């Protein structure tokens, strides 16, 4: 299997239609990558299939950045952490600031 980060970025490029150079660890799905909830749902399904993991429906609320989502996938794949990785706090505030 290729590097998890590389495979994840390939999924994001395909489903979000963004250039790979935009996929930094701190890139925010909604603000920086212009993703919507359907885009992220498709990414979740693709990741579940590619990495043979289950991602709970409510987990997306915790993934504000590419790095958040990648850390979760790596933890699930390696079974190092049964829940969300450390550093991911409460769901993001989706209300306009």
Cα distance from N-terminal residue to C-terminal residue, the chain: 41
Of the listed 19, 36, 39, 68, which one is catalytic? 36
Active site residue 36: yes
In b/e form, how buried is each residue of 56-92, taking b as 16+ CB within 10 angstroms?
Answer: eeebbebbbbbbbbbbbbbbbbeeeeeebbeebeeeb
What are the residue numbers of the active site? Answer: 36
């Amino acid at each position: 299997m290729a590097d998890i980060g590389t495979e994840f970025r390939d999924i994001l490029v395909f489903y979000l239609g963004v250039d790979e150079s935009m996929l930094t660890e701190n890139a925010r799905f909604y603000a920086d990558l212009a993703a919507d909830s359907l885009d992220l749902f498709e990414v979740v399904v693709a990741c579940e299939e590619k990495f043979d993991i289950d991602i709970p429906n409510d987990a997306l609320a915790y993934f504000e950045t590419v790095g958040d989502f990648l850390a979760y996938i790596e933890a699930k794949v390696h079974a190092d952490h049964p829940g969300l990785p450390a550093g991911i706090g409460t769901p993001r505030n989706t209300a306009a600031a």
